[in-house]
Chain A
Amino acid sequence: DQQVKQNSPSLSVQEGRISILNCDYTNSMFDYFLWYKKYPAEGPTFLISISSIKDKNEDGRFTVFLNKSAKHLSLHIVPSQPGDSAVYFCAAITDSWGKLQFGAGTQVVVTP
């Protein structure tokens, strides 16, 4: 049973607009969350992360929000650019050396 869920398999957004990607989790023991970005024929690359002691983390155009009570996190990309077109994976862990649990991914397409 998947503990990390990304219910939107795809998202289309216009260049310059905001992209909002959502992720829900079921395991309350998760205490660290990460977003990865993946282009075709390449491995995933780390994008941004957030600890469960925070509710927001920002890095340039990327902001991750965490709502622990709702077991929900979101990734905001503002403004969206064509180079942001990729698959985005949400992931969560419970300890430093343990298993990364990934969501199924959301394909983002940024149109001109």
Chain B
Amino acid sequence: EAQVTQNPRYLITVTGKKLTVTCSQNMNHEYMSWYRQDPGLGLRQIYYSMNVEVTDKGDVPEGYKVSRKEKRNFPLILESPSPNQTSLYFCASSKEGTRSGKTQYFGPGTRLLVL
């Protein structure tokens, strides 16, 4: 089954404690991205990657890092989480980039609470 998986699904942490949210896709997609969803703001892109070792900033990259060492994985790293990073995070992948909306798959989301 074609899917994007994220782990963990729920996470409560404290300010400053480094964490990583993993994202993996089994569709051999080149394009992957991370979004955060906040009330009244919709989804905002954090980072995206067009292929292995190629990443670029989205609209809200501050406080986040990503890496793309393998095609299937695109982890999101919060080196020093702060309460304003409390949010719902989505990973997405597609074969041809965001224009091919039909083939963009989103993960189920990771709800993060930073105390």
Contact = CB atoms under 8 A, between A and B. Distances in A.
Contact of B45 (A2, A99, A105): A99
B21 interface: no
B98 A96 contact: yes
A89 B42 contact: yes
Contacts of A96: 96-99
Interface string B41-63: 11111001010000000110000
- Measured as residues with beta carbon below 8 angstroms from the partner, the interface class of chain B is 20 to 34
Contacts, number: 66
A103 B42 contact: yes
A51 B27 CA distance: 26
B98 A93 contact: yes
Interface in A61-112: 89, 91, 93, 95-105
B74 interface: no
Given A43-B90, A43-B92, A2 B41 contact: yes
Given A2-B41, A99-B45, A99-B58, A41 B96 contact: no
A99 to B, nearest CB: 5
Contact of A46 (B42, B97, B101): B101
Contact of A43 (B31, B40, B96, B109): B109
A22 interface: no
Given A43-B4, A43-B92, A104-B42, A97 B58 contact: no
Given A101-B59, A104-B40, 19 more contacts: A42-B108, A43-B92, A43-B106, A43-B108, A43-B109, A44-B90, A46-B101, A49-B102, A89-B42, A93-B99, A96-B96, A96-B98, A96-B99, A97-B50, A97-B97, A99-B45, A100-B33, A104-B42, A105-B42
> Nearest 9 A-B pairs (CB), nearest first?
A43-B106, A102-B42, A34-B101, A102-B43, A104-B42, A97-B97, A96-B97, A96-B99, A46-B101
